[in-house]
Amino acid sequence: MTLNVGVIGTGMIGQDHIRRLTQVLPGARVAAVADIDLDRAKAAADNVPGSRVHQSGLDLVGDESIDAVVVCSWGPAHPEPVLACIEAGKPVFCEKPLATTEEDCDQIVDAEVAVGRRLVTVGFMRRYDAGYQAMKQALSRGEIGAPLIMHSAHRNASVPASVTSEMIVLDTGVHDIDIARWLLDAEVAATAVLKPRRGSRAADDLQDPLILLLEMSSGVLVDIEVLVNSGYGYDIRGEIVGETGTVELAETAAVVIKRDGGFGGRVPADWRERFVRAYDAELQQWIDAASAGTATGPSSWDGYAATAVTNAGVQALHGGARVEVSLRPQPDLYRAAGGTGGKG
Ligand code: NAD
Ligand code: ISE
């Protein structure tokens, strides 16, 4: 069976996922697209023979020929189509963040719990990255003993002038929050934000870099450096310090070049290059699950928990103090082990 997929939001990652669904991965075809920028939707559809353009995301979800939906619009626009998919019983892959407010995430969790089966997968692609998976295996095999501290660095080469300090937490730091929860198998109990000296590439008023501190429920402390105008490339770093050793992400360059008395390798340009295999794996697993009418991987609960932390982080960014994170009780639906995204 070929899964008929509709894609909502045909910007940067929407186009990248359309390419992946159309040219790279078996089992699915892009049958329809929608974007509030109709010209952009039409341009995307032009590259996919046989695909239709819908006037809105809701029209696309309501199209009976669409089996499953990929949501790649801006964060605040995610809840509407995700809730419509749940109501229609259609599996939905939603790019991160699931929603930008805890209230919207709550509503999605409630709707999915009411249906009684998983339909939502959130695009926390780091969980599918070979490096992070090897870190998790090292931890679960006890190779470094109990984890004590995690260091994470998330550096973008540059961002558009429209990016705000809040978005650095909500949209960028959210990846590090999710991967910390997943690797350490614990929730975040409290967060604080430190504000280093601002880099000269940062636009006026942008707190770049910033450091998010997480206190995990297990007592592990996590420091997350987010720098969105590194200038030199897209650099993702991670290390966990345990009682008997450490585990650290390796450099991703396939080769090291030595010449003129020095050595070096390539730094990825952006997330599309750094996580290309992780995105392939996450969407392939999503296609396989959606074809069976269900969902695996990072869940609505994971989306909710991450957003609860980013919302506390934004409060800490403005208020300067440590902010406690209090989560609702976890519904049973999300307790079972769920493959790459499972927390159980
Ligand atoms: P983008 O601005 O390039 O594209 C977003 C598109 O969504 C635009 O074409 C816009 O017109 C459209 N859009 C906005 N509201 C809409 C609505 N209500 N209905 C239909 N279309 C709508 O942004 P992007 O970089 O592609 O990011 C899109 C989403 O993907 C964001 O949630 C972002 O956080 C996420 N993202 C994830 C990763 C990752 O590494 N997993 C990387 C990049 C972006
Ligand atoms: C973007 O939306 C992503 O998700 C990228 O992975 C991240 O590195 C970037 O900072 C975000 O804006």
Q: Are residue 158 and residue 146 in the same domain, yes or no?
A: yes
Question: What pLDDT, on the 0 to 100 scale, is given for residue 30?
Answer: 98
pLDDT in tens, 6-45: 999 999 999 999 999 999 999 999 999 999 999 999 999 9
In a domain, residue 298? The reply is: no
Closest residue to atom 9 of ligand 2, CA basis: 172
Last residue in a domain, options 104, 125, 146: 125
Question: What pLDDT, on the 0 to 100 scale, is given for residue 320?
Answer: 83
Measured at the alpha carbon of residue 120, what is the angle toward residues 12 and 31, in degrees to the nearest 5? 55
Strand pairing class (210-216; 257-259): unpaired
Q: Are residue 150 and residue 79 in the same domain, yes or no?
A: no
Last residue in a domain, options 84, 100, 125: 125
Q: What is the CATH number of the domain that holds 87?
A: 3.40.50.720
* HEC secondary structure over 166-224: HHHHHHHHHHHHHHHHHHHCCCEEEEEEECCCCCCCCCCCCCCCEEEEEEECCCCEEEE
Question: What pLDDT, on the 0 to 100 scale, is given for residue 343?
Answer: 39
**Count of domains in the chain?**
2
Rounded mean pLDDT of 272-297?
Answer: 98
In a domain, residue 51? The reply is: yes
Q: Are residue 194 and residue 226 in the same domain, yes or no?
A: yes
Q: For residue 205, what are the domain limits?
A: 127-277+306-324
In a domain, residue 41? The reply is: yes
Q: What is the CATH number of the domain that holds 142?
A: 3.30.360.10
Phi, psi values for residue 5, rounded to 5°: -105, 140
Q: Are residue 132 and residue 95 in the same domain, yes or no?
A: no
- Are the C-beta atoms of residues 324 and 189 closer than 8 Å to each other? yes
In a domain, residue 236? The reply is: yes
In a domain, residue 54? The reply is: yes
Q: Are residue 133 and residue 221 in the same domain, yes or no?
A: yes
CB-ligand 1 contact for 282 (6 Å cutoff): no
Q: Which ligand is nearest to the CA of 159?
A: 2
Rounded mean pLDDT of 36-62?
Answer: 97
In a domain, residue 283? The reply is: no
Last residue in a domain, options 125, 153, 182: 125
Q: Are residue 83 and residue 26 in the same domain, yes or no?
A: yes
- Are the C-beta atoms of residues 257 and 263 closer than 8 Å to each other? yes
CA 304 to mean position of chain CA atoms = 12
Q: Are residue 176 and residue 98 in the same domain, yes or no?
A: no
Least confident of 162-166, 172-176, 334-338: 334-338
In a domain, residue 229? The reply is: yes
Question: What pLDDT, on the 0 to 100 scale, is given for residue 341?
Answer: 45
Q: Are residue 256 and residue 143 in the same domain, yes or no?
A: yes
Q: Are residue 174 and residue 318 in the same domain, yes or no?
A: yes
Closest residue to atom 11 of ligand 2, CA basis: 172
pLDDT in tens, 189-199: 999 999 999 99
Pairwise CA distance, residues 110 & 303, whole Å: 13
CA 174 to ligand 2: nearest atom: 4
User: Which residue would you say has higher pLDDT here, 338 or 181?
Assistant: 181
In a domain, residue 207? The reply is: yes
Query: In 3D, which of 222, 60, 334 has the Cα closest to residue 70?
Result: 60
- pLDDT score of 63 more than 70: yes
- pLDDT score of 339 more than 50: no
For the chain, the average pLDDT equals: 96
Span from the CA of 113 to the centroid of ligand 2 (angstroms): 29
Strand pairing class (246-248; 92-94): unpaired
Rounded mean pLDDT of 332-343?
Answer: 63
CB-ligand 2 contact for 307 (6 Å cutoff): no
Q: Are residue 17 and residue 46 in the same domain, yes or no?
A: yes
Q: Are residue 19 and residue 113 in the same domain, yes or no?
A: yes
Closest residue to atom 6 of ligand 2, CA basis: 271
Q: Are residue 105 and residue 152 in the same domain, yes or no?
A: no
Query: In 3D, which of 105, 245, 74, 97 has the Cα closest to residue 177?
Result: 97
